[in-house]
A and B are shown apart, each in its own frame.
Chain A
Amino acid sequence: METLAARTNAWACYDCGKCTATCPIARSGSSYSPRRQVLATNLGQEGELVSGDGLFTCLTCGLCDQRCPAQVDYTTLVQQLRELAHGADREPECPHGGALQSVMRMMAKGGTKQDRLGWLDSDLHTRPAEGEVFYWTGCAPYYDAFFSELQIQALAGVRAAVKVFNALGVEPVVSSEERCCGHDLLWNGDRTSFEALAERNVALVKASGAKTLVTSCAECARTWRLDYEPYLRGVNLQVLHLSEYLAEHLAELPLKGGATRRITFQDPCRLGRHLGLYDPPRQVLGALPGIELSEMRHSRAGATCCAGSTWSSCDRFAKKIQVDRLREARATGAEVLVTACPKCQIHFRCAMKDPNIGGDLAMEMKDIAEVVAESLK
């Protein structure tokens, strides 16, 4: 516990309470308090932290990290505490009946041949095993199958991404052997399963000979770039989010002019605060003819997250965060809410389904890849 406090700089906390003041969960009326968690860490109250209600409430969105004047690494602290909790047989409540956690753990166990490339249309050109660029699709096929009632279209974003690659003259590797990156298991505290997934995925990408891995999921990007580091063991791999890759290749994109469309951009917490990538998606969107970006009141480092990044909690406070965020998006006058992470789509589309206020919140949602693909010649 002491090393944990030292490693995450919790010792430096001077109890100012900015974290709790900025925490979207606390601001929504929950009794959850990041400050109290840090204090309990410094007092060595491991038992209370591990068994308390607050542990899985945190969204790990990183907003408190951003505001903390003492540079306490709060998200890492929560992640490590959850590992302790997992060791003590404590699991999150698992929204969606734990189905997604089960799917991830089954992928970690392996032994089956996944049937995950059903979305690959004949006009999309990809390579099955070897190539320069590996396109990491993430759990998109699973999300579309599981969240069918939300009309989530994670695969539309994936198809669009491959289309954009093809327009750049790149045939990316898309593998049926790809497994979940393990992001959610890691943030639920299950490092054993995460390690199993990391080892398998790194071996797969290594065998493909790819020099660059591109993903359109903000969580996969974070996991590959930061959390897979110890497992890459010298494999020379550049990990890019699709928006970064496109920002690098903007000049080569064959774009056509189009009618003016006003859009707004939701910064995914993993892409923004975790990886610091605020500009690449804006550069890409700004370069598209006819696309006008109007920012929400909270954007970039101050953006509110979709309130459900790690499948560890979902409650009325999360709903309030989503509703407030969608109201902000609607207030920009934009027609389309563009994101760069499938989970943002899942959670905002769910909030739009509200039978009472859904009509005030509903707006078109698209992945950044779809917007780019629509502007292609």
Chain B
Amino acid sequence: MSARQNTTQKAPTKAGAGKAAGKTAAKRASKAVKKTTARPAAALPDWNPKLVVFACNWCSYAGADTAGVSRIQHEPHFRMIRVMCSGRIQPGFVLRAFERGADGVLVSGCHFGDCHYIFGNERAVEQFDKTMRMVKLLGIEEGRLRLEWISAAEGARFADVINEFTAQLRELGPGPFAHSEEAGGRKVEVA
């Protein structure tokens, strides 16, 4: 572990500190983390989770860029999908990711008050809540879906979120539809 990575871990991890609305969103996300019940992960030492990250063009994608430009080391097992606004990330996107074998899905956008489209991230919360209800009904563990606000400056926070989420997915093990392509539907490889 590099010295640089050590410093990143000290970076504030609480989303939207000082912003009431952002805080509730962060609470929502952290609540999901606590609730997860760990599966025995020791049986899969070489297994790496497939994490799908939806990131908004203006904040979270740029935050990931900042992490890269700052050369912050973090877990590489995610596939990033850039959308113009987190408000665009509807349940269909997330559910399709799970259906096609994702082990976890991260929805990320600008902090409240920072949305490039003023209120797009408020729509994102509505869509996320709906998605979470569907995920719970289906019996997919809540810990596989997360909502995080990451600004363009928060490269360190992006790395933290990815590391933490990847670790959590390692605990949970492979997703319910990771190897079930043969059971109907279209055969699509998650690259």
Q: Are A102 and B176 closer than 8 Å at their CB atoms?
A: no
Known: A98-B96, A102-B99, A109-B177. A146 touches B184 (CB 8 A): no
A124 within 8 A of B: no
Whether B92 contacts A106 by the Cβ 8 Å rule is: no
Contact indicator B92/A145 (Cβ below 8 Å)? no
Q: How large is the interface on A (under 10, 10 to 19, 20 to 34, 35 or more residues)?
A: 20 to 34
In the complex, chain A residues whose CB is within 8 Å of the CB of B90: 96-97, 99
Give the residues in chain B near A190, CB-CB below 8 Å.
Answer: 184-185
Measured between C-beta atoms, what is the minimum distance from B66 to chain A in Å? Answer: 30
Nearest neighbor of A96 in chain B, beta-carbon distance: B92
Known: A89-B186, A115-B137, A141-B137. A102 touches B92 (CB 8 A): yes
Given A190-B184, A193-B185, A196-B184, A106-B138 contact (CB < 8 Å): yes
List A residues 96-126 near B (Cβ within 8 Å).
96-99, 102-103, 105-116
A residues near B (Cβ < 8 Å) are: 89, 94, 96-99, 102-103, 105-116, 141-142, 145-146, 148, 190, 192-193, 195-196
Asked whether any CB of chain A lies closer than 8 Å to the CB of B95, the reply is yes
Q: A105-B184, A148-B130, A193-B184 are in contact. List 16 more A-B contacts (CB 8 A).
A: A97-B90, A98-B96, A102-B98, A103-B138, A105-B99, A108-B183, A111-B180, A112-B139, A113-B139, A114-B139, A115-B136, A116-B137, A145-B134, A146-B130, A146-B133, A193-B183
A111 engages B184 (CB within 8 Å): no
Bound CA–CA A22/B155 (angstroms): 60
Complex Cα distance, B96 from A89, in Å, reads 16
Residues of B within 8 A of A142 (CB): 134, 137
Give the A-B pair count, Cβ closer than 8 A.
84
Complexed CA–CA distance, A103 and B98 (Å) = 10
- Interface of chain B, helix or strand or loop or mixed? helix
Select which of A89, A97, A98, A107 is within 8 A of B138 by beta carbon. Answer: A107
Closest B residue, CB atoms, query A139: B137
Interchain CB contact under 8 A, B134 and A109: no
- Find out whether the CB atom of B176 lies under 8 angstroms from the CB atom of A192: no
Neighbouring A residues of B93 by C-beta, 8 Å:
97
What residues of B have a CB within 8 angstroms of the CB of A114 in the complex? 137-139
**Is B91 an interface residue, CB under 8 A from the partner?**
yes
The proximity string for B residues 123-151 relative to A, scoring 1 for CB distances below 8 Å and 0 otherwise, is: 00000001001101111100000000000
Q: What are 24 residue pairs bridging A and B, where the CB atoms are less than 8 Å apart in the complex?
A: A89-B186, A96-B92, A97-B93, A98-B92, A99-B91, A99-B95, A102-B96, A106-B99, A108-B183, A108-B184, A109-B99, A109-B177, A111-B176, A111-B180, A113-B139, A114-B137, A141-B137, A145-B133, A145-B134, A146-B91, A190-B184, A190-B185, A192-B184, A193-B185
A103–B138 CA distance with the chains assembled, in angstroms: 8
| Distance between B34 CB and nearest chain A CB, rounded to angstroms | 18
